[in-house]
Amino acid sequence: MARYLDIHPENPQPRAITQLAALIRDEGLIAYPTDSCFALGCQLGNRSGLERIREIRHLDEHHHFTLMCRDFAQLAQFVHVPNSVFRMVKASTPGSYTFILPATREVPKRLMHPKKKTVGVRIPKHTFVQALLTELGEPLLSSTLLLPDEEEPMTQAWEIKELLDNQVDAVVDSGDCGTEPTTVVDLSGEAPEVVRVGAGDPSRFV
């Protein structure tokens, strides 16, 4: 049965954040709100957590997972940001964008796209998530909580608790979150490619 954590959206309780970070380090899988919509998250090296996300969402090996990063400095440890796209990424973070970029050696191979050796990264504009990432001291491996055969991600913590009670270890309720997933932009090629239009304005990449 999943724990249900009610965390203040503007002033997250330090004790709750510490408990949640400990659960993640102990190979826990959480459902948590972001500035775009709910996501599933686990520690970067959590193999079982990764497989649980794949199972919940019915994902294949070509799916791009996302590293939820605290800031640009942390993001740059895990992906190569060429000079040609540096300003573009910098100007769009934090915000509701996911960028696909070439992964560095810091990223486990199982998280990379098998052919492109890329991974998704983003910096959320969300007080609770920022507090959690600061406590963790590392990115959170994440994937939008979009269930198979559903067109829209889940947005209500209590519904997620009811539906995924035996599949995740904790569900976080931290007030309203977005209802749209991020805009995904592939910056690994010669020109930016908008892969998915979502909450972030895609016009700056077209």
pLDDT one-digit tens code per residue, 69-103? 999 999 999 999 999 899 999 999 999 999 999 99
* Residue 137 pLDDT: 96
**Residues with Cβ < 8 Å from 96, sequence gap 6 or more?**
35, 36, 125, 178, 180, 182, 183, 198, 199, 200
Amino acid at 17: I
Task: Calculate the average pLDDT of the chain.
Answer: 93
Residue 115 CA to residue 137 CA, distance in Å, equals 29
Q: Is the pLDDT of residue 63 over 90?
A: no
Mean pLDDT for the stretch of residues 159-167: 95
Mean pLDDT for the stretch of residues 177-182: 84
Domain with residue 117: its CATH number is: 3.90.870.10
Using pLDDT thresholds of 50, 70 and 90, give the confidence band for residue 184: very high
* Residue 50 pLDDT: 94
With b for 16 or more beta-carbon neighbours within 10 A and e for fewer, the 28-37 pattern comes to bbbbbbbbbb
DSSP letter assigned to residue 205: G
Burial of 160 (0-12, 13-18, 19+ CB in 10 A): buried
Residue 121 CA to residue 148 CA, distance in Å, equals 23
Residue 42 CA to residue 46 CA, distance in Å, equals 7
Enter the pTM of the model: 0.94
Q: With helix as H, strand as E and coil as C, how does 87-156 read?
A: HHHHHCCCCCEEEEEEECCCCCHHHCCCCCCEEEEECCCCHHHHHHHHHHCCCEEEEECCCCCCCCCCCC
Q: How many CB atoms are located within 10 Å of the residue 165 CB?
A: 12
Residue 109 CA to residue 141 CA, distance in Å, equals 13
DSSP letter assigned to residue 182: P
User: Domain range holding 30?
Assistant: 3-205
pLDDT-wise least confident of 25-29, 60-64, 93-97, 185-189: 60-64
Alpha carbon dihedral 56, 60, 62, 68, in 10-degree steps, equals: 10
Please give the tally of structural domains in the chain.
1
